[in-house]
Structure 1
Amino acid sequence: MASKQSKRLRVAIVGGAGFAGQNVRNELESAGIETGVFSRSSGCDLMDLATAFEKLDRFQPTHIVNCAAHVGSVNYVRDFAADVIDHNLRMILNIYRVAQKMREVIVVNPIANCAYPGVMDTYVESELWSGPIHPSVLSYGSARRMIDALAQCYHWQYGVRSANVIVPNMYGPFDSTNPNKTHALNALVIKFVRAVKQGDGEVEVWGTGKPIREWLYVKDFARLTRRLVEGGGDLLEPVNLAQNHGLSVDELVTIISEAVQFRGQIRKNTSYPDGSPKKVMDDALFRQRFPDFTFTPFEEGLRETIAYYQSVL
């Protein structure tokens, strides 16, 4: 049964029809929290300020969870760089303009870790602005870093409250079935599941396989979002949602191909960009703020992700 506090909460999930948004909605609704989905598919174009304000103001949310993003693979955000930065900046700015008008609403922001400087051994929150974003993700990373600036500026001038968490690449159910529109782990699952289903003898892997990435099961992000919504606290200064552990693309290829029992050839296409060599985040501050939070074991998350794609491909 939902708590009295949960019954009072009304959470607008912008981008709620997408990958992270669907998982957040499922988690919140399982706790009895009222949600509303605001996306282009539901008639709310966040790049149109008047429309966004009219739709969100009618719902009167206590929180706006910002899952709206125009994003894809490293290859995608390079090929459509102008569209990616333009669309994301406009959506983010309009969310804060709406929050300014509503006054009491709290904005919950996942900030992708590509907002960090491009070459660092471990991403630490205090170093978010300490260097340039990696050129391969300049379009998307610049827009996500700007969330931090907007959150602070709108708080200073208008008192808008925010909860900002920096997230690694996410994987799990409800993502796109187009490998060019997902991060590497889901893209690899798509390719290997499809190859097994179609009897293909070869899978092409983009890049050298050397980059190391930290991975977050999307349902863990959804669980933390629920805690932020129910707790009512602010995280104006961003906190890494981190485990301080990464896997190389080569390691992922081995794990996934074995999990789906792919027996064919694996061919690397090194004409595709690798992106930043390493994206692993320091977890000290997160452990201090959320000492009892437990992450889904990687094997379990991967198993559920493979099962999802086997059901939809």
Structure 2
Amino acid sequence: MPAASPALDPSATVLVAGSSGLVGSAVVRRLRAEGFTSVVGIRSSDVDLTDARATLDHVTSLRPAVVIDAAARVGGIAANDAEPVEFLNDNLRIQTNLFAAAHAADVDRLLFLGSSCIYPKHSPQPIPESALLTGPLEETNDAYAIAKIAGVVAVKSYRRQYGRRWISAMPTNVYGPGDNFHPTRSHVLPALIRRFHEAVRSGAGEVVVWGSGTPRREFIHVDDLAAACLHLLAHYDDPSPVNIGVGEDLTIADLVALVADATGFTGRIAWDASRPDGTPRKLLDVSRLLATGWKPRIGLAEGVRSTVRWYADTLAEPGGRPDGR
């Protein structure tokens, strides 16, 4: 098993890049709940991480002991497919600038959060970390995946060349409070929640869902992911990336049924098979993570219900922002 790291000092400065996003905001909440007293977030409105000089100046002025990189340009299938140049370039710049700044600030521990989309489209199931770079990627998000793969290689390179105790983790599909519920730029679960909630409010008798419903996906609640991040920083020190997931998946059709039930939708569900399905199945092998002593606590049905409540209370009311930010 990979070597453990010294316990994190709760008085040390921890910098969370992407602190206004789904994952970053959950990490900040978790750090504060666990008694960390010097948690600093970076939002895009604070610092443009695609700007190398601005990133370097900001990070070196703070000199954090720990950096958690949850910053990224993200979107669903449609956005990734339509804007591959932006997804590639922006994410490469964010990672490169933040890593260079962390190195200049002599950051001891850094956690880079990638994505399960780094793995080949037709990977063995469940997907082990060793599947990386063994086959072609899913075409609809290959630019984003390449950027994240570059981040994994960068972490390994800083470890090898400079002895940095940096690590990278690959989460499965993440959901929960603070997600992006934009009608065209969100991932599958928040998009479904918004669509079904609006159908119930408008009294619509039918909801159209993209694809065939047959692909299988795994989902982790963002609060579980945040807990896993802190656990790994204290218990994992290895150049190989580590998967973060729950070890179980379900079909998109079953997911749709969960969302329909949580929102109270009782009408007809129609499938638009002309829309892309994406990767047929994406279930992560989480044995490496479980071997460190961590396990998820929030079941999918419970998590979907609580996320629907959060969306209804927070974003669906007048004045709420549909993108969740």
Interval containing the TM-score (normalised by the shorter chain)? over 0.9
Secondary structure of 1:181's aligned partner: coil
Output aligned runs, 1:1-313, within 5 Å. Answer: 6-33=9-36, 34-42=38-46, 44-122=47-125, 123-229=127-233, 231=234, 233-290=236-293, 292-311=294-313, 312-313=315-316
Secondary structure of 2:239's aligned partner: strand
Secondary structure of 1:293's aligned partner: coil
**Aligned-pair CA distance for 1:131:** 1.4
**Aligned-pair CA distance for 1:5:** 5.6
**Aligned-pair CA distance for 1:259:** 2.0
TM-score for both structures, normalised by structure 1: 0.93
Deviations 1:58-85 (A, max 9, x none): 2221111111111111111000111111
Deviations 1:38-61 (A, max 9, x none): 12122x010111101111122221
**Aligned-pair CA distance for 1:267:** 2.1
Greater per-residue helix proportion: 1
Secondary structure of 2:114's aligned partner: strand
The alignment of Structure 1 onto Structure 2 pairs a total of residues equal to 307
- Which ranges of structure 2 fall in alignment gaps of 5 or more residues? 1-6, 317-325
Decide whether the 8 Å contact of 1:163 with 1:238 is kept in 2: yes
- Which ranges of structure 1 fall in alignment gaps of 5 or more residues? none
Determine the C-alpha separation between the residues in 1 that align with 2:292 and 2:308.
Answer: 32
Q: Tell me how large the CA RMSD over aligned residues is.
A: 1.7
**Aligned-pair CA distance for 1:177:** 2.2
Secondary structure of 2:191's aligned partner: helix
Determine the C-alpha separation between the residues in 2 that align with 1:106 and 1:7.
Answer: 14
Determine the C-alpha separation between the residues in 2 that align with 1:242 and 1:195.
Answer: 31
Determine the C-alpha separation between the residues in 1 that align with 2:183 and 2:124.
Answer: 27
Deviations 1:136-184 (A, max 9, x none): 1101111111111111112212223212111101011101121432221
Q: Give the percent of matched residue pairs that are identical in Structure 1 and Structure 2.
A: 28
The one-letter amino acid of 2:151's match is I
Secondary structure of 2:180's aligned partner: coil
The one-letter amino acid of 2:241's match is P
Deviations 1:95-138 (A, max 9, x none): 11112212233211222100001112311111212112111110
**Aligned-pair CA distance for 1:6:** 4.1
Decide whether the 8 Å contact of 1:6 with 1:32 is kept in 2: no
